[in-house]
Amino acid sequence: MAHTSQSLRRGAALLASTVAALGLLTACGNGGQGKSPESVSGTAAPATGNASSADSSGTSAVPSADGSSPASQTGASATGGGSSTGGTTTGTAAAAGTRCHTSELTASVGTDNPGAGQENFPIVLTNKSGRTCTVRGYPGAAFVNASGTQLGPDPQRESGTTATTVTLKPGQSAWAGLTFSNPEISGAKTATPAALLVTPPDEKDSLKVTWNNGAVPVSGNASSVRLNVFSAGTGV
């Protein structure tokens, strides 16, 4: 009888061990999770702060082209007063009186007006669009050969001149002076350009004008080419 009781106790212990082992295997089969996942209430909170420059009306405050106080624009680029295609403008800042874009202008070079050993050419921009726009300040300019390679250094801006805003109605023009010393007098080295590239103020795209005025100084003594600010008219 003692032997039988001892056998029964061993059997009970073995059964308990087996049940415990089965419980561990079941837990492992459930990814080790002994209970259901916790539920999290609510949604992610929105980020705080002003992520963009848009105001409550949905318009973006961007600087004006001349660096003055910002103006609210809808659909306008930061570098200009609204977009423009074929003379049609969009955006609240693209009303009459904003700056002229390259696509709205034509460029030409007027007749030389020499004096005191200087050659003086007016660079003329004409408003070909159907809206009124403005130019202010210096043009960009570069002489290039037939391959488009620039000849000589960039022209220098004439000091002591004051920029004014020139308003151009459709068909009206503004001009800026391009001057250099006559190479025959200065002794500067010369090259004969195929064209003059003209970039309107505050624009990146240029206009190409055929150059029919002979050699220009590109290096050596007195080889600087200078530019003046725009004024109303054609320089004649």
For 106-162, the pLDDT digits (tens) are 999 999 999 989 999 999 999 999 999 999 999 999 999 999 999 999 999 998 889
- Residue in the block written with tokens 């929105």: 46
* More confidently predicted of 20 and 125: 125
pLDDT at 75: 30
Mean pLDDT of the chain: 71
**Neighbour count for residue 140 (Cβ, 10 Å):** 16
What are the backbone dihedrals phi and psi of residue 102, each rounded to the nearest 5 degrees, phi first? -55, -40
Closest CA to 203 of 129, 131, 141: 141
pLDDT at 220: 84
**Range from 23-32, 75-84, 110-119, 184-193 carrying the lowest mean pLDDT:** 75-84
pLDDT at 10: 55
**Neighbour count for residue 62 (Cβ, 10 Å):** 18
Closest CA to 176 of 203, 205, 138, 209: 138
- Whole-prediction pTM value? 0.60
**105: pLDDT strictly greater than 60:** yes
pLDDT at 97: 56
Cα gap 223→181, rounded to integer Å: 7
Alpha carbon distances (Å) from 145 to 3, 180, 214:
117, 18, 12
pLDDT at 164: 95
Cα gap 168→171, rounded to integer Å: 8
Residue-wise pLDDT tens digits, 45-101: 333 333 333 333 332 222 233 333 333 332 322 223 333 333 333 333 434 459 999
Rounded (10°) CA dihedral 196, 201, 207, 211: -20
pLDDT at 21: 46
**Range from 91-95, 189-193, 195-199, 208-212 carrying the lowest mean pLDDT:** 91-95
The first and second tokens of residue 217, run together, are: 């100084």
How would residue 28 be classed by pLDDT, with cut points 50, 70 and 90? Answer: very low
Closest CA to 104 of 224, 223, 203: 203
